[in-house]
Structure 1
Amino acid sequence: MRIEEEYKKTGYFWLPEKEDNKIPGVLTIDDGGRIELEIVGHFDESVDFLNDNEDLSRIIGHVEKDGLVTLDNCFYTKKNFSFGGISKSKILVHKVLSGAAWDKDEVVSFNTFSFSVDCLDEWVGISGINVDNDRESRTATINYNPPEKISLLLDNGMKLEICFSYTLPGLTNITEAKITQRAYFRLESEGLLDLSDFTVVAFKITNLMCFAMDEIVAMKNVSATSYELKRDGEKYPASISVYYQSKPFVEKLPKKNWHDMLFNFGAIKSNAQQVFNNWINAYKYLSPALGLYFSTKSGAQKYLEGKFLSLAQGLETYHRRTSSETLMELDSFELLVKEILKSCPDKNVDWLKGRLMHGNEINLRKRLKRIIEPFKDHLGTSRERSKLLKKIVDTRNYLTHYSESLKGDSAKGRELWVLCQKMEVIFNLHFLKVVGFDDEEISGVVRNCYPLKRKLQEI
């Protein structure tokens, strides 16, 4: 989660049902969403203060500007004790809900969840701002018509909206007129749901944006509402700001233009609902492959060899999850195994069963060949594709087993980097297919997306 403004606020904190024991402290949320509470002393003032069984599942606080906050899933990282002096303890917090306080065992549930991601305005590409300049008369007219929100129905029963917030110029400012517009996502459920139900879907949507923009982008400006939670005297539900260490995240703030993306909202406008549903539903069977792919994009793999192995494993996993192809028919294989085991000495049967367990699976080269087949026209000549497959297989085998016989055939340095680029492209082309792009639309992406085209041209 990206924290755009420094969050470091002082206040008083206490355990639920122990409001009389308020302790001063400082709540800090770093960019990335890591949350730490530093308090004076500790919450347990009994003589048994050395125990580690203190229940910190929920802490309530009242901080400057924000008012009431609820801190969930907390534990000490540093617990100091002082006999007469001042000591400080540190607590790691999993999640902060800013704007209200929940009791110890009270269920936290919402029916809306709003969030934005880096570069979302550039991806959506819709603006209600219109500027008309008349250079001859030296006048300018600025009009703003808020764009209509875009509503999409998800297969999980939620409604996803692409909304637009905006600010207009103040009435008394005579030297500046400023209009701002920001796009954001809003998930809505008819009934109340646990916060995790929303964050799981938001994570998948954020990853879709990472894929579409070909860049790791982070969530930001997260809030939630419940029709049961309203501030005193107010008609509308109270907005609760939500903070947690969401993934993916990179420290560097990305900058993307629409022509640097695989596709933007305009490219899927006519079938956006199906695209979002296809992507979210794909996690039911492609979650391991998606996780491996995004781990290589987010910097989880610090070395090129690790990135290559994750991409190779990801492609192999992708084929396993999308194809049931085997070397021979299942009945034929089972009959063959039965015949082989008949002639095996009893003492070696268990060993042989282990060897034959995966004997009907096709090898990595065949899996890669099947994966490449739908997009072979984009991946060079038959000779170039064969060379690519051999290099991937040899390099994977060497980096997995470090066999001296394969050392000379494995890729190193720039050649290894180029292999990673090619494997990313294969993932990209398949993910485009997953979300619903047809062959013609995929060819259009290959022609018009500069980063993808550059990866294909690397030699």
Structure 2
Amino acid sequence: MRIEEEYKKSGYFWLPGKEESKIPGILSIDNGGKIKLEIIGHFNDGPSLLSNDGLSRIIGHVEKDGLVTLDNCFYITKNISLGGISKSTVHVNTVFGGAAWGKEETVTFNTFSFSVDCLDEWVGISGIDVSTDWDARAATINYYPPEEKVFSLDNGMKLEICFAYTLPVFPNITEAKITQRTYFRLSSEELLNLDDFTTTAFKITNLMCFAIGEIVSLKNVSATSRELQRGVDNKQYSVPISIYYQSIPFSEKMPKKDRRSMLFNFAVITTSAQQVLNNWLNAYEYLYPALNLYFSTKTGAQKYLEGKFLALAQGLETYHRRTSSETLMEPKSFEAVVEKILCACPEEHVGWLQGRLMHGNEINLGKRLKRIIEPFKKHLGTSAERNKMLKKIVDTRNYLTHYNEDLKDTAAKEGDLWGLCAKMESIFNLHFLKVIGFTEEEIDWVVKNSFPLKQKLQGANM
């Protein structure tokens, strides 16, 4: 989670039901969502002095934000001083700003709003209209809030693309400022646990990472519940609850992307956005391991180029396993062959041989890669270039996995290894486009118009 402004606030904190035992402290949230509470003393006394009992939830009242609920807490350090001042540090998993929940009370919501880096640029919809008359030295600025985009998700939620805005404050004779911010809102008719929303938000954020072509981070998270209402002018309104937690993916560096440097933007999928969203969310049911391996190479989880290469190679292999049931021979035929082999095997070696034959009907990495590139071979060079690339990937994977000296000279090194990684990334990109519903013609258009993808394909053929 991206924290754009420093969050370090003083306040008083107590355990649910023990408001009379308040402790002063400082609540801090780092960029990335890591949350820490520093307190004077500790929350336990008497026989439970050295225990963490009852610390899973903490209530507080902090400057500017008012009531906060700190969830899933535990001590990092617990200092006990005899007669002096002691400080303790508590790790906090989640902060809910704006309300207090009891010790056993379940936290549920109906809506969950969030934004991600570069979302304004990706959506590309603005209600700001500026016209200039240079001859008259005059300018006119109009603002009409854009219409929200609403999509029904297969998991029962709705996803909306919404637009928050601020208008000029009057009277003001020196400046007139209009701002607009795009954000997502997930909504449900039923009250849902926070995890239900954060899981869907995580998948949507990864879709944005893929579409934008950069690691983007979740930010500006808030939620509402029909159970939390506030009366204003005889009307009831849902209380907005700000939420902080350590979400992934996250990159400390704020990305900067214009629409032309993205893989694709919202305008490309305007007429099919609902299907694209559902295709991506549903893909996690069977492609999660492959998706996880791919994104691990984008988030910096792989610190070295060799690790990135192995993750991509394993990811492509896993992708094919999850999307194809191809085997060397028909399962019944293979079972018959295995039975004959085992019958001829000395009894003392049967267990060993069974282990060796367990995966004997699976096709090897080379064949899996050949099947994977088949739909997109026109984008991956000539037949000779493709065969050379496939052999290089297989030899390099085998060498980096087993460090067999016989493969050392045929494995890719340095610049060639970078090129293979670019190649495998581009293959993933092409398949992900197919997964979310792009037609062959639409994929051809992306290849032609997306500079980052074109660069990966060209770089890989060097």
What range describes the TM-score normalised by the shorter chain of this pair?
A: over 0.9
1:333 alignment counterpart: 334
Provide the identity percentage.
71
1:60 alignment counterpart: 59
1:452 alignment counterpart: 453
Query: Which runs of structure 2 are paired with 1:12-23 in the superposition (5 Å)?
Result: 12-23=12-23
Q: CA deviation at 1:55?
A: 2.5
2:177 alignment counterpart: 178
1:119 corresponds to which letter in structure 2?
A: C
User: 1:8 is paired with a residue of what secondary structure?
Assistant: strand
2:416 alignment counterpart: 415
Query: Which runs of structure 2 are paired with 1:306-321 in the superposition (5 Å)?
Result: 306-321=307-322
User: 1:231 is paired with a residue of what secondary structure?
Assistant: strand
1:32 alignment counterpart: 32
1:137 alignment counterpart: 136
1:23 corresponds to which letter in structure 2?
A: I
Query: Which runs of structure 2 are paired with 1:154-173 in the superposition (5 Å)?
Result: 154-173=153-172
TM-score for the superposition, normalised by structure 1: 0.99
1:436 alignment counterpart: 437
Q: Is the 2:3–2:32 Cα contact (8 Å) retained in structure 1?
A: yes
Query: Which runs of structure 2 are paired with 1:123-272 in the superposition (5 Å)?
Result: 123-231=122-230, 233=232, 235-272=236-273
Q: Can you list the C-alpha shifts for 1:194-231, whole angstroms capped at 9, x where unaligned?
A: 11000000000000000000100000000000011113
The 3 A distance-change label for structure 1 pair 235 and 210 is same
Q: Does 1:386 align with 2:387?
A: yes
1:283 corresponds to which letter in structure 2?
A: Y
- State the alpha-carbon separation in 2 of the partners of residues 73 and 352 from structure 1: 49
Q: CA deviation at 1:345?
A: 1.1
Q: CA deviation at 1:54?
A: 2.4
- State the alpha-carbon separation in 2 of the partners of residues 394 and 58 from structure 1: 53
- State the alpha-carbon separation in 2 of the partners of residues 158 and 132 from structure 1: 40
- State the alpha-carbon separation in 1 of the partners of residues 400 and 151 from structure 2: 45
User: 2:394 is paired with a residue of what secondary structure?
Assistant: helix
User: 2:229 is paired with a residue of what secondary structure?
Assistant: coil
Gaps of 5+ in 1: none
User: 2:238 is paired with a residue of what secondary structure?
Assistant: coil
- State the alpha-carbon separation in 1 of the partners of residues 89 and 319 from structure 2: 43
- State the alpha-carbon separation in 1 of the partners of residues 213 and 155 from structure 2: 26
- State the alpha-carbon separation in 2 of the partners of residues 245 and 307 from structure 1: 24
1:125 corresponds to which letter in structure 2?
A: G
The 3 A distance-change label for structure 1 pair 17 and 80 is same
- State the alpha-carbon separation in 1 of the partners of residues 40 and 411 from structure 2: 57
Q: Does 1:278 align with 2:279?
A: yes
User: 2:267 is paired with a residue of what secondary structure?
Assistant: helix
User: 2:81 is paired with a residue of what secondary structure?
Assistant: coil
Q: CA deviation at 1:238?
A: 0.1
Q: Can you list the C-alpha shifts for 1:238-286, whole angstroms capped at 9, x where unaligned?
A: 0000000000000000000111111000000001000000000000000
Q: Does 1:3 align with 2:3?
A: yes
Q: Does 1:362 align with 2:363?
A: yes
TM-score for the superposition, normalised by structure 2: 0.98
Q: CA deviation at 1:47?
A: 4.5
Q: Is the 2:52–2:74 Cα contact (8 Å) retained in structure 1?
A: no
Q: Can you list the C-alpha shifts for 1:349-395, whole angstroms capped at 9, x where unaligned?
A: 11111000000000000000000000000000000000000010000
Q: Is the 2:231–2:237 Cα contact (8 Å) retained in structure 1?
A: no
Gaps of 5+ in 2: none
- State the alpha-carbon separation in 1 of the partners of residues 87 and 136 from structure 2: 66
1:278 corresponds to which letter in structure 2?
A: N
- State the alpha-carbon separation in 2 of the partners of residues 397 and 454 from structure 1: 27
Q: Can you list the C-alpha shifts for 1:386-407, whole angstroms capped at 9, x where unaligned?
A: 0000010000000000000001
- State the alpha-carbon separation in 2 of the partners of residues 53 and 75 from structure 1: 7
Q: CA deviation at 1:23?
A: 0.4
Q: CA deviation at 1:455?
A: 1.0
Q: CA deviation at 1:20?
A: 1.3
1:118 corresponds to which letter in structure 2?
A: D
- State the alpha-carbon separation in 1 of the partners of residues 281 and 18 from structure 2: 42
- State the alpha-carbon separation in 2 of the partners of residues 48 and 103 from structure 1: 21
